[in-house]
Amino acid sequence: MDRTDAMALFVAAIDAGSLSGASRKIGLSLSSVSRHLTALEERLGTKLVVRTTRALVLTDAGQTYYEAAKRLLAEVDDLEASLTTDAAAPKGPLNVCAPTLFGRVFILPILADFAVRHPAITMDVMLLDRTPNLIEDGIDLAVRIEDLDDSSLIARKLGSLRWVFAASPEYLATRGTPAAPDDLARQDCLLFSQQGRESSWPILVGGNLERVTVPVRMRSNTLDGVVAAAVAGAGIVHAPAWAVADHVAEGRLQLVLCDFEVPHRPISAVFTHNRLLSGKVRALLDALAEGLSGYKLDEVPPFGSRPTA
């Protein structure tokens, strides 16, 4: 067995979780898989896995080898795919990741259309609210909404996202319109949070980004819930501009504290250097850029600009 095959066998064994699982996946006997794995460890001069009755446990060296091997095998797959005669029809598996809420509303419809347009590409899609490690998680492309500080990644900007403060005109007429962040202490605040019992909002104070603790009237891990509460007159909500734009245009919500909004957050597609030449990643990048170009995620129409029927 040559080095590439041994590497592929090792990755298959770890992904399957056992030698028997790798045996079934690759089509080799269990004894052959075990023998090749032992030969690989002997050639490398280090122990890669600890074999138990139920699973394979990676050693530190095994973890390092597994991550590098998986990356190298993916590069080989991408290289071979890029050299096929039908380069105009990218193919193969794609692992895609995006934030949960933004992914559900904007990315999944784009991916559905992408799947129809590229039937030779298969996709595994993860919606996560943590920042993924592209290499460790085996992700080809991730959509991230944040300032990027990882120089090992390549990023393509897809747009920007504005967050705003809004409340119903009826609520503001009763409770008063806040003119500064300190005024929030006397308001009812509706918090969208997927990070537990959050009780603060990011606000620009004196040109500096701060988290201001606010009195919580309602907290929810679903954005629709707190936006609906704001429309009903229950308080002030802090939400993405796209979630309140129609309500503002139709006079159900009104923006407040516009001078204290945090800077717009960049929306980026990020991938590692070894994905740079992949035709399937290039195709997905173009699809995301095209799909998101139709949305004005950093704009809100003027209050009452679209009269209700």
Per-residue pLDDT of the chain (309 residues; tens, 9 = 90+): 678 888 888 888 888 888 887 788 777 888 888 888 899 889 899 999 888 767 788 899 989 998 888 888 877 776 666 555 445 678 889 999 999 889 999 999 999 999 999 999 999 999 987 888 887 788 999 999 988 776 667 889 999 999 999 999 999 999 999 999 999 999 999 999 877 788 999 999 888 999 999 999 999 988 999 999 999 999 999 999 999 999 999 999 999 999 999 999 999 999 886 555 578 888 999 999 999 998 989 999 999 888 655
What local confidence, expressed as pLDDT, does residue 85 receive? 42
What local confidence, expressed as pLDDT, does residue 71 receive? 81
Neighbours of 279 (CB within 10 A): 20
Q: Which residues pair with 270 in a beta bridge?
A: 142, 155
- E strand residue ranges, 110-235: 121-127, 141-145, 153-161, 163-167, 189-192, 200-205, 208-213, 216-220
What local confidence, expressed as pLDDT, does residue 53 receive? 60
CA separation for the pair 9, 229 (Å, rounded):
55
Residue 51, class by beta-carbon neighbours within 10 Å (0-12 exposed, 13-18 middle, 19+ buried)? Answer: middle
Sign of CA dihedral 271, 274, 278, 282: positive
CA separation for the pair 264, 298 (Å, rounded):
7
Q: Which residues pair with 50 in a beta bridge?
A: 57
List for the chain the helix, strand, coil content (%; round to 5): 40, 25, 35
CA separation for the pair 254, 164 (Å, rounded):
10
Crossing angle of helices 60-82 and 3-16, rounded to 10°: 110
CA separation for the pair 292, 288 (Å, rounded):
6
> In Å, what is the CA distance from 198 to each residue of 202, 245, 309?
11, 24, 38
What local confidence, expressed as pLDDT, does residue 134 receive? 85
Q: Who's near 219: CB < 8 A, 6+ residues apart?
A: 190, 191, 192, 193, 197, 198, 199, 226
DSSP 262: P
Domains identified in the chain and CATH numbers: 3-82 (1.10.10.10), 92-161+265-292 (3.40.190.10), 163-260 (3.40.190.10)
Q: Who's near 208: CB < 8 A, 6+ residues apart?
A: none
CA separation for the pair 273, 77 (Å, rounded):
15
